[in-house]
Amino acid sequence: MRPRGLIVGTWAVAALTFIALILFVFLKVPVAQPQAGGLAQKIFYFHVPAAYALYLCGGVCFIASALYLAGPSDTKDAWAKAGAECASIFGAMVMVSGPLWAKKAWGVYWTWDPRLTTLLLSILIYVAIVLLRSFAGGGDAERKFAAAFGVLGTANLPIIHYSVQKWGGNHPTVIGKGGGGLQDPSMVQALLSGFFAMTLLAALLLTLRAQLAQSQARLLRAEEAAPDTNG
Amino acid sequence: MTQASPAPATVESRSQEFRPVSGGSTDTSSAGALLVTAYVLMWAILMAFLFMTFRRQAAVDKRLAELERALPKRSDS
């Protein structure tokens, strides 16, 4: 039995947190210094949590892919597929919001900065997994190839995180080693709320997509069992 | 000759903190537009993904129900 009440409750909490966060960010959180993008810096409160959600979904893709390679099952494959799909979506959110902030802070939408480049590479890997699963069918070989790609692709995630500290570039280091941090308590509150809301959202999206992938696998098997009922 | 990139090149020179400033930036018009654009695009991506997910799930559920209805008929005949 599906824990429907829990899922509906989580959706409600996530939606309310996002609404409250948007109001808080626009009405209460102060504008940052011009070098940090000024008003455009407020993109940060969704951009960074979206990047974190990408890591989270990439982690799910990695674990499920590794488990699938160890012992294939529809459930593991569904979670690996869901992880790659959700990582692609959060990656798109990061890639849309980041350049809009960079235009204000750096004067350019894109630069081949180490973090930006490694992040783009990771997103392209997840998109490749999604495309592979969408167009190459759901056979055992395709599933195993996608799982291997999911394991290898996720190896890039720590490189994204440490690239900004090891190789320099333009990307700020507000969080983590070397960063000056957020200089107002409301900035910290907004960021933490963003992490909380994005964690809920990632969990919900992963659950939805894993359910869909499992239903699709069931449908495939049912159609194989009853080929003359098509149409 | 002008420099192509206005961005800082070293780890030390880039922005490492977000400090609040009184009154905000003097050039907020384009920043506001960029901010709203970023939020709208992010939510549009999310909503499109959710819409596609629910639509696909409904289509798969419908097809599965059709197959379940068809299978007993085949076994009866």
Helices B29-76 and A185-225: angle between axes, nearest 10 degrees: 20
pLDDT more than 90, % of chain A: 51
pLDDT at residue number A94: 96
pLDDT at residue number A227: 58
What is the DSSP secondary structure assignment for residue A182, as one 8-state letter? Answer: E
Per-residue pLDDT tens digits for B3-61:
444 444 444 455 556 655 555 445 545 888 899 999 999 999 999 999 999 999 999 99
Show the tokens assigned to A213: 């992938």
Cα→Cα distances B52→A148, A192, B49, B58, Å: 26, 29, 5, 10
Q: Is the ipTM of this complex over 0.90?
A: no
Q: Is the pLDDT of residue A144 over 60?
A: yes
> CA A113: distance to chain centroid?
20
Cα→Cα distances A50→A45, A55, A106, A108, Å: 9, 9, 21, 21
pLDDT at residue number A75: 94
Q: Is the pLDDT of residue A84 over 90?
A: yes
Which range in A36-40, A125-129, A216-220 is most confidently predicted, on average pLDDT?
Answer: A125-129
Look at B56 and A22 and tell me if their CB atoms are within 8 Å. Answer: no
Q: Is the pLDDT of residue A165 over 50?
A: yes
Q: Is the pLDDT of residue B72 over 70?
A: no
pLDDT at residue number A121: 92
- Exposed, middle or buried, A123 (CB in 10 Å: 0-12/13-18/19+)? buried
Residue A69, Ramachandran bin (φ over 0: left; ψ between -120 and 50: alpha; else beta): alpha
Point out the least confidently predicted range of A16-20, A114-118, A161-165, B1-5: B1-5
Q: What is the mean pLDDT of chain A?
A: 87
**Residue of A33, A81, A134, A177 to mutate, interface with B, max B Cβ within 10 Å:** A33
Per-residue pLDDT tens digits for A92-106:
999 999 999 888 888
Dihedral angle, C-alpha A136, A225, B61, A3, nearest 10 °: -100
What is the DSSP secondary structure assignment for residue B14, as one 8-state letter? Answer: S
Look at A34 and B37 and tell me if their CB atoms are within 8 Å. Answer: no
Q: How many angstroms away from the CA of B1 is the closest CA of chain A? A: 18
Q: How many CB atoms lie within 10 A of CB A134?
A: 11
In B, which residues are within 8 Å of A101 by CB distance?
A: 34, 38
pLDDT at residue number A123: 94
Per-residue pLDDT tens digits for A38-68:
888 899 999 999 999 999 999 999 999 999 9
* Spatial separation of the C-alpha atoms in residues A28 and A21, rounded to whole Å: 10
pLDDT at residue number A164: 73
> What is the per-residue burial (b if ≥16 Cβ within 10 Å, else e) of B10-48?
ebeebbebbbbeeebbeebeebbebbebbbebbeebbee
* Spatial separation of the C-alpha atoms in residues A41 and B5, rounded to whole Å: 20
* Spatial separation of the C-alpha atoms in residues A112 and A120, rounded to whole Å: 10
Look at A106 and B63 and tell me if their CB atoms are within 8 Å. Answer: no
Look at A169 and B11 and tell me if their CB atoms are within 8 Å. Answer: yes
Provide DSSP, A104-119: HHTSSS----HHHHHH
- Judge whether B1 is closer than 8 Å to chain A, CB to CB: no
In A, which residues are within 8 Å of B3 by CB distance?
A: none
Task: Delimit the domains of chain A by residue range.
Answer: 43-218
- Judge whether B29 is closer than 8 Å to chain A, CB to CB: no
Look at B14 and A47 and tell me if their CB atoms are within 8 Å. Answer: no
